[in-house]
Amino acid sequence: MLDRLEELEKRYIELSDKINDPDIISDNELWRKLMKEHSDITPVIEKYREYKQTMEAIGEAKEMLEDNSLDEDFRQLAKEELSENNKKIEEIKNELKVLLLPKDPNDEKNVIVEIRGGTGGDEAALFAGDLFRMYSRYAERQKWKIEIMSATESDAGGFKEIVFMINGKGAYSRFKYESGGHRVQRVPATESKGRIHTSAVTVAVLPEVEEVDVELDMNDVRIDVFRASGNGGQCVNTTDSAVRVTHIPTGIVVSCQDEKSQLKNKDKALKVLRAKLYDLELERQHSEVSAERKSQVGSGDRSEKMRTYNFPQGRVTDHRIGLTLYKLDSIMDGDIDEVMDALITSDQASKLANLEQV
């Protein structure tokens, strides 16, 4: 690990010189590329330099303890400093191991979230609406922008399906563990006998991908236009503004009618299609990885029951990591950092364990 850190520090110094070189600054594309690399390794180098400073302090404290001419008070101070820095160095080592884990190239990207009502009929659609509000409130807390791509409302309220994008740096790194089955246990408003019903909603989380990330042959795409329905302003039922995009080789269908402009709806639908095709390829790659190397947090399989929201008990349980929190109200209001942090920590621990086995 230390050899790798030494090499990284040399590269960091080299990059620091290059990004201040007038010849490189004049080449915008190269300068941006080098700036990104510099930014990516800066946290590692800062932590590594803290490691070296702490090791120097440990060495100085040991020298003081070996000096028999020092009085007892100084020796006691040296012992305390040595003890504190020994603890600190172990913490820094663990932090460095996490920083050196391979980065997910999608972590900094915007995210597309798709929520679908599953078993439970109207109650599932209502809970899909609740989850959309939860994620929206979380995004607002992060000062991220939300953009609805498409939505099919339920007559009883909520959504049969809603697809939306969250624009914000690092959005995917926070949301990527939300994929899977979300189960709700509560008494529906229409239940006269007070019986608890269990309903399910599936969530798919996709990183936004650029055209260069996915090779999309438009000859493989069929685009149909139709009149939008539901709430949408003057253009609803008067113009063919809604767009349905079908990817013929895979059978993936994406519809969008949120915008009044057919062109904007087409652009949104193609964004979602590219994200789905990218996710399909990632899924294929993941299936080739042996089961013991997969993250303990879970694969994000849509059928996986990954979280339960129990309203009578005010409880939220994430089954992948065995986390239970009795703060359902605040979680449903978007206070989900504690859950996300625990999932990230568990995933990092799993990856570290896998690295140590190699």
| pLDDT tens figures, 115-127 | 998 887 889 999 9
Burial of residue 73 (CB within 10 Å: 0-12, 13-18, 19+) is exposed
Q: Which pLDDT belongs to residue 279? A: 82
Q: Are residues 257 and 314 in the same domain?
A: no
Mean pLDDT throughout 53-72? Answer: 88
Cβ neighbors of 334 (< 8 A, separation 6 or more) are 133, 134, 135, 136, 137, 138, 139, 140, 141
Distance separating alpha carbons of residues 317 and 203, to the nearest angstrom = 16
- DSSP, collapsed to helix, strand or coil, labels residue 81 as helix
Q: Give how far the C-alpha of residue 263 lies from the chain's centroid of Cα atoms, to the nearest Å.
A: 29
Burial of residue 248 (CB within 10 Å: 0-12, 13-18, 19+) is exposed
Which of 40, 70, 99 lies at the terminal end of a domain, its last residue?
99
Mean pLDDT throughout 136-165? Answer: 91
Residue 291 covered by a domain:
no
Distance separating alpha carbons of residues 249 and 181, to the nearest angstrom = 27
Q: Are residues 203 and 119 in the same domain?
A: yes
Which H/E stretch holds residue 341? helix 337-357
Give the β-pairing of 180-186 and 305-310: parallel
Residue 358 covered by a domain:
no
Residue 145 covered by a domain:
yes
Q: Are residues 306 and 198 in the same domain?
A: yes
Which of 72, 99, 126 lies at the terminal end of a domain, its last residue?
99
What is the end-to-end Cα distance of the chain in Å, rounded?
A: 14
Q: Report the percent of the chain where pLDDT is more than 70.
A: 88
How many distinct structural domains can be found in the chain? 3
Of 337, 351, 347, the residue nearest 174 (C-alpha) = 337
Angle between helices 28-66 and 72-99 (to 10 degrees): 150
Residue 318, both tokens:
């994430």
Q: Are residues 60 and 138 in the same domain?
A: no
Q: Are residues 84 and 187 in the same domain?
A: no
Mean pLDDT throughout 209-229? Answer: 78
**Sheet of 242-247: strands edge to edge?**
221-226, 242-247, 252-256
Mean pLDDT throughout 197-202? Answer: 91
Given a cut of 70, whether residue 211 has pLDDT beyond it is no
Q: Are residues 142 and 281 in the same domain?
A: no
CATH number at residue 332: 3.30.70.1660
Distance separating alpha carbons of residues 163 and 135, to the nearest angstrom = 12
Residue 269, both tokens:
């639908």
Which of 70, 99, 128 lies at the terminal end of a domain, its last residue?
99
What are the pLDDT digits (tens) for 78-97?
899 999 999 999 999 988 98
Burial of residue 138 (CB within 10 Å: 0-12, 13-18, 19+) is buried
Range of the domain at 145: 111-208+296-352
Residue 224, both tokens:
């149909």
Q: Are residues 224 and 140 in the same domain?
A: no
Neighbours of 194 (CB within 10 A): 7
**Band of the pLDDT at 296, cuts 50, 70, 90?**
very low
Of residues 355 and 200, the one with the higher pLDDT is: 200
**Inter-residue contact 209 to 278 (CB < 8 Å):** yes
Q: Are residues 335 and 254 in the same domain?
A: no
Mean pLDDT throughout 132-157? Answer: 92
Residue 190 covered by a domain:
yes
Given a cut of 90, whether residue 261 has pLDDT beyond it is no
Q: Are residues 80 and 223 in the same domain?
A: no
**Model pTM score:** 0.71
Q: Are residues 70 and 198 in the same domain?
A: no
Q: Are residues 62 and 22 in the same domain?
A: yes
Burial of residue 273 (CB within 10 Å: 0-12, 13-18, 19+) is buried
Residue 141 covered by a domain:
yes
Q: Are residues 259 and 231 in the same domain?
A: yes
Cβ neighbors of 307 (< 8 A, separation 6 or more) are 180, 181, 182, 183, 316, 317, 318, 319
Q: Which pLDDT belongs to residue 305? A: 81
Residue 332 covered by a domain:
yes
Q: For the ranges 49-63, 163-177, 297-311, which has the lowest average pLDDT? A: 297-311
Given a cut of 90, whether residue 343 has pLDDT beyond it is yes
In the predicted model, what is the mean pLDDT of the chain?
A: 85
Residue 35 covered by a domain:
yes
Mean pLDDT throughout 284-295? Answer: 50
Distance separating alpha carbons of residues 222 and 175, to the nearest angstrom = 31
**Band of the pLDDT at 212, cuts 50, 70, 90?**
low
Mean pLDDT throughout 172-194? Answer: 86
